[in-house]
A and B are shown apart, each in its own frame.
Chain A
């Protein structure tokens, strides 16, 4: 029942944004982050918010996925707003009740910081929602390459990450299957004290480990049979080509950065 489990946030799609090269997509995100931190005005933030919303629409991501992705930072946002509103002074007094005063500068800075954070998360979401975990790792792997010169086995690290990602859904599926099998034998994973529940997980964890080790064994054998050797030079099945559209996207984003700097937004 592999279809019932997905990894990360990736939403399959065929849009231009889905098809952009992951290496450049990561670079795009970095440039946008730089842009986000050079912006000094609400106008700039508004423009960028518009851009990210248009991009989500282009990628065909339903808005509730964006909201769901923003949910984890809700409390950080709230906390930041409270701190700025109540503890940053300056400007005109907007509100006063006893020892609490809210001044305009605090409100401005609070909203600005929060706006920046939200937009930052939205752009990161755009990346993770439209890129498969595997292409994300291969993209990251590219930027890890220079570390080879300081002795980091980057190829192997990338392989470890790729294999781990590949097997997370498999193991999740397996644990679900095992859970149902043990439930059918009267197991109880829900009630009882913490210690009791931990003990009840044994019928789940032991077979899961057994199968994980068996899979690891099989995979190692299969890899060796196909000539995988540590430290050997490898090429990849899917050539990671950068197409004109990838450069165009980067150019567009750089233009945006340039314009923002020139206009002093």
Chain B
């Protein structure tokens, strides 16, 4: 187990009439290098779970593990943990407060009290890693950027800590198709080439399904499924019962299959679907 929880329960405002159990007995584990999808309808506890993973929230009961340690067990600062596990929150561009892109990205490394030349290096690396031209954008005001660029700057602002684990809460919210595609390509690169462990949460399955190797499904604060991606995505009816749908392309493939066409249903992107249909036609008319 690289990251995991053990019977994690979290209650907001315990001991008051407003007490709500956001997480109930959640136990999961993932390994280093995994690309994990945390799936669940709105209000199922995804954000609450994510915030436990770097100590922003403390369990009401249960434990959170990271790299052979129990989070929050030792009294030492959580800063070392937050260096290793980066969280990109929902709509992260709403956190911007600096006058330049440079300062925004430099915020995290400066919090580590690094020398300014080290900070400078980290800022440039982070901007390059998200594919932004540091020289061109560093001096701009963050609010002048396009929505897609803002999202990338916000991600760079977390990457500048050089975490080994990257967690995204609803990373595609508010992005257009091109922005989404760019983001997913980037995440795939981080996972495959830079061996980062990545967790993304979503209530809406889309192209992300093609990237991940593990899936956790939350419903009403309970972990109702966990396992390899192929396995979970084959349980169409169970996902449907939990209020979740497969990506539209996958749904189409399922429909085609039900109509009697021998197509694979493990298809999550338009490109794959197109290829599968072309192959089918070729097989038929050969």
Question: What is the interface of chain A, defined by CB distance below 8 A to chain B?
Answer: 1, 3-4, 6, 11-12, 177-178, 180-188, 202-207, 210-211
Question: Separation in Å of the B220 CB from the closest CB of chain A?
Answer: 14
Indicate whether B108 reaches chain A with its CB closer than 8 angstroms.
Answer: yes
* Assembly CA distance A210 to B47 (angstroms): 23
Max chain B C-beta neighbours (<10 A), residue from A1, A185, A205, A211: A185
Which residues of B (133-180) have their CB < 8 Å from a CB of A? 157-158, 161
Residue from the list B18, B94, B161 in contact with A185, Cβ < 8 A: B161
Chain A interface SS verdict (over half): helix
Given contact pairs A184-B86, A186-B83, A186-B107, enumerate 5 new A-B contacts (beta carbons under 8 Å): A4-B13, A178-B95, A185-B107, A186-B79, A210-B94
B95 touches A181 (CB 8 A): yes
* Assembly CA distance A185 to B97 (angstroms): 13
* Assembly CA distance A184 to B165 (angstroms): 12
Question: What is the interface of chain B, defined by CB distance below 8 A to chain A?
Answer: 12-13, 17-18, 20, 22, 47-48, 51, 54, 56, 79, 82-83, 86-87, 89, 92, 94-97, 107-108, 111-112, 157-158, 161
Max chain B C-beta neighbours (<10 A), residue from A11, A180, A181, A184: A184
A3 touches B20 (CB 8 A): yes
Question: Separation in Å of the B27 CB from the closest CB of chain A?
Answer: 23
* Assembly CA distance A11 to B19 (angstroms): 12
B97 touches A207 (CB 8 A): yes
> Nearest 9 A-B pairs (CB), nearest first?
A186-B111, A206-B97, A4-B12, A185-B108, A184-B87, A181-B89, A180-B56, A203-B97, A181-B95
Nearest to A209 among chain B residues (CB) is: B97
Residues of A within 8 A of B157 (CB): 185
B96 touches A184 (CB 8 A): no
Residues of A within 8 A of B47 (CB): 1
A207 touches B94 (CB 8 A): yes
Nearest to A186 among chain B residues (CB) is: B111
* Assembly CA distance A183 to B56 (angstroms): 8
* Assembly CA distance A90 to B130 (angstroms): 83
Question: Separation in Å of the B231 CB from the closest CB of chain A?
Answer: 31
B97 touches A186 (CB 8 A): no
Nearest to B57 among chain A residues (CB) is: A180
* Assembly CA distance A180 to B47 (angstroms): 11
Question: Separation in Å of the A187 CB from the closest CB of chain B?
Answer: 6
Residues of A within 8 A of B56 (CB): 180, 183-184
* Assembly CA distance A52 to B136 (angstroms): 69
Residues of B within 8 A of A185 (CB): 82, 95, 107-108, 111, 157-158, 161
* Assembly CA distance A211 to B94 (angstroms): 8
A186 touches B108 (CB 8 A): yes
